Amino acid sequence: MEEIITQLSNFIAAKILKQPKRVIAAAEPLISSGLIDSFSLMDISLFVEDTFGVRIEDTELNADTFDSLEQLAKLIMARQ
Amino acid sequence: MTTLAHLIHKNYQTQPQKTAVVLQHAGKDDLPISYHDLVSGSARYANLYASAGIQPGEVAVLILQHGADLVFAFWGAILHGAIPSIMTFLTEKLSPERYRADLSALIAVTQPAAIVTYPEFESDVRSALKDGDTVREVLLTSQLEAESDPEFDQLSGLTRPPEEIVLLQHSSGTTGLQKGVALSHRAVLNQLEAYTRALALTEADVLVSWLPLYHDMGLIAGFLMPILSGNTLVLLSPFDWVRAPYKLFQAVSRYKGTLSWLPNFAYNFCAHKIRERDLEGVDLSSWRVITNCSEPVKWESHQAFYQRFQKYGLRMNALQCSYAMAENVFGVTQTPLATDPVTDEIDRESYINERIAKSPVDGKPTLRMMSSGRALDNTRIRILSEAGFDLPDRVIGEIALQSDCMLTGYYHRPDATEKALRDGWYLTGDYGYTLNGEVFVAGRKKDMIIVGGKNVYPQDLESLAYEVPGIHAGRAVAFGIEDPEAGTEEVVIVAEVDTDDPAERQKIADALRRHISQNSAVALRHAHLVDSKWIVKTSSGKTARSANREKFLQEIERT
């Protein structure tokens, strides 16, 4: 779980926020806070599929399905 | 003389069973609406406006999401003779307080008589209303009477003169909402006549669009034009498209789509963010014109798009360009049919420093400009110097235009209207140059930022920045920088702060990012905090956005 969160955090910090040194806390809200905008949701979906082999459907790309790294990591683990 | 109401009435009479709109919604079956059902559904809204006492010529603001109610409420307003204005819907990231403030700003200037929304959104809308403002009715989608055949002699929209204002278009943010572009029936119809000629539009054309209807490209090209011309329109939700861009391609394939409009970033987005499995069996050979419009057009974006989708039958000469703006209803230029947009390789240094598009100099860096096409046959274009004189080919100046489809004015804003028009010419605030009748757009005189096709005013973003604890009024600057990978602009805010503690700065940067996201239509990509005295001011103490952009670019290049 820790490992997945770190990988997700590194990816989001470097590719989406363009602040590679930024650490994202596991419980920090991502979508509802506006930290991740809708144009970046596809990036997360592609990254998760390529890295962890887990599919996230397009209807799941919203804060109801996951809004933090913790929730996203749980979703990934449940589907691996 | 015809009006918009007459045209949809005609489509109702001549081809009632033809599909006017196919609404697509993620996870649901496609919903086809015939011209008969489009007009009867809209007539119910016309009756709702009438029974609520909304007068023809009064404004109705529509706060509705992608779906049948938005379509019917819009055409219902037209059939009633009321002036529809579509406002963006509240999204999950936008703060409700900001949304109410934006709505209040819109109400104050536009002075609508009615707002149309869903029952579950009524209290949010009412909370933005103040004593003494003009809104007399909040009309709900649940208040419609049972469906019956429209009584056309009762519809006051059919008696409106063509010079009357038919609709308002706004861009987003506090500044944009206070400048509604008012368009007459005659202007809209003149635009459509010229634009459909440029496209050689026939009734067999099928339009596929995911563009939002609160934006001119979505409203005019992706909604009014196909419905008034009697075409079939396949309409996706922008919310669904951004999460599943492949749906555009599947829709084109399934409905044999022929025409689409896309902002430049969408070419990059689609080329890079669609999985191969989602394109299985897709056939794009019917797609005859895909128009790149509403933000600077990039040759590289067309190449990336073509290379990705050619194996699905996409034709290179389907990729065209347009320069467009709400003040001309929509299109100003268009690439001549079935030709590739003209490209022009120029010397980069003289482009930047002398504002001239010169031929390349041996060994020096070049830029490849892509033409936005030629002026529509009802529109004339001039390139003007600062002093207002005509400039020759290849010299960059402000683009001015004149046509028979210009705005009536900014609604209730004679001051802004007067500023934008000079001797009957509309000064666009965009820079560009001409070459043998081709128009190349080359930056903006106004400070507007265009992100993913959306216009954003930097002063709105700066005002938001001042609301963040740790950032003082007058000590932040917002601007856009090009992101070649995404094919659009990224928003930057540079703010001076007193603290030099990295952890404190990180906190302020996070708060700034969050505040901009929740209170504007855009995401902040670069929150750049600096020491005091960093921001470049003009001699009169104003913030010089372009000078600050240069300084920022140099600074990030060094790191």
Each residue's pLDDT tens digit, B492-540: 999 999 999 989 998 999 899 989 988 888 888 889 999 999 998 877 7
- The answer, yes or no, to whether residue B138 has pLDDT greater than 90, is yes
Each residue's pLDDT tens digit, B167-195: 999 877 777 788 899 999 999 999 999 99
Domain range enclosing B148 = 1-20+32-179
pLDDT value at residue B334: 98
Q: Which of A58, A61, A62, A66 to mutate to test binding with chain B, by most B CBs within 10 Å of its CB?
A: A58
- The number of domains in chain B is 3
Contacts of A34 (CB under 8 A, 6+ apart): B93, B513, B514, B516, B517, B518, B523
Structure-model confidence comparison of residues A20 and B70, the more confident one: B70
Q: Are residues B151 and B121 in the same domain?
A: yes
- The answer, yes or no, to whether residue B63 has pLDDT greater than 80, is yes
Q: Quick one: tokens of B228? A: 């008034």
pTM: 0.93
- B300 lies in some domain: no
Between chain A and chain B, the number of residue pairs with CB atoms below 8 A apart is 60
- B380 lies in some domain: yes
For residues B72 and B74, what is the distance between their CA atoms, to the nearest angstrom? Answer: 5
| pLDDT range class, residue B1, cuts 50, 70, 90 | low
Q: Are residues B549 and B433 in the same domain?
A: no
Q: Are residues B456 and B385 in the same domain?
A: no
- B279 lies in some domain: no
> Could you tell me which residues of chain B have a Cβ less than 8 Å from any Cβ in chain A?
26-27, 92-93, 239-240, 242-245, 265, 269, 273, 275, 452, 486, 506, 509, 513-514, 516-518, 522-523, 525-526
CATH number at residue B66: 3.40.50.12780
**For a pLDDT cut of 90, what percent of chain B falls above it?**
81
For residues B195 and B376, what is the distance between their CA atoms, to the nearest angstrom? Answer: 7
Q: Quick one: tokens of B151? A: 């009584």
Domain boundary among B142, B164, B179: B179
Could A18 and B92 be called an inter-chain contact, meaning their C-beta atoms sit closer than 8 Å? no
CA dihedral B75, B76, B78, B83 (to 10 degrees): -110
Q: How far does the CA of residue A8 sit from the closest CA of chain B (Å)? A: 18
Could B269 and A22 be called an inter-chain contact, meaning their C-beta atoms sit closer than 8 Å? no
DSSP letter string, B400-437: EEEESS--SEETT-HHHHHHHEETTEEEEEEEEEEETT
- B contacts of A46 (beta carbons < 8 Å): 273, 275
* B14-18, B293-297, B340-344: least confident range: B293-297
Q: Are residues B8 and B100 in the same domain?
A: yes
Each residue's pLDDT tens digit, B383-418: 999 999 999 999 999 999 999 999 999 999 999 999
Q: Are residues B106 and B70 in the same domain?
A: yes
Q: Among residues 33-62 of chain A, which lie with CB inside 8 Å of chain B?
A: 33-43, 46, 49, 58-59, 61-62
CATH number at residue A24: 1.10.1200.10
Q: Which of A23, A24, A39, A56 to mutate to test binding with chain B, by most B CBs within 10 Å of its CB?
A: A39
Domain range enclosing A29 = 2-79
DSSP letter string, B6-59: HHHHHHHHH-TTSEEEEE--TTS--EEEEHHHHHHHHHHHHHHHHHTTPPTT-E
- The answer, yes or no, to whether residue A37 has pLDDT greater than 90, is no
HEC sequence for B498-537: CCCCHHHHHHHHHHHHHHHHHHCCCCEEEEEEECCCCCCE
Q: Are residues B424 and B456 in the same domain?
A: no
Could A59 and B523 be called an inter-chain contact, meaning their C-beta atoms sit closer than 8 Å? no
Q: Are residues B436 and B456 in the same domain?
A: no
Mean pLDDT score, B357-375: 95
| pLDDT range class, residue B335, cuts 50, 70, 90 | very high
pLDDT value at residue B291: 98
Q: Are residues B53 and B152 in the same domain?
A: yes
- The number of domains in chain A is 1
- B contacts of A58 (beta carbons < 8 Å): 26, 240, 243-244
Q: Are residues B397 and B526 in the same domain?
A: no
Contacts of B550 (CB under 8 A, 6+ apart): none
Q: Are residues B420 and B509 in the same domain?
A: no
For residues A38 and B440, what is the distance between their CA atoms, to the nearest angstrom? Answer: 31
- The answer, yes or no, to whether residue B546 has pLDDT greater than 90, is no
Q: Are residues B472 and B440 in the same domain?
A: no
Q: Are residues B419 and B456 in the same domain?
A: no
Mean pLDDT score, B53-81: 98
Q: How far does the CA of residue B31 sit from the closest CA of chain A (Å)? A: 18
Q: Which of B28, B90, B92, B210 to mutate to test binding with chain A, by most A CBs within 10 Å of its CB?
A: B92
- The answer, yes or no, to whether residue B559 has pLDDT greater than 70, is no
Domain boundary among B444, B461, B479: B444
| pLDDT range class, residue B116, cuts 50, 70, 90 | very high
| pLDDT range class, residue B485, cuts 50, 70, 90 | confident
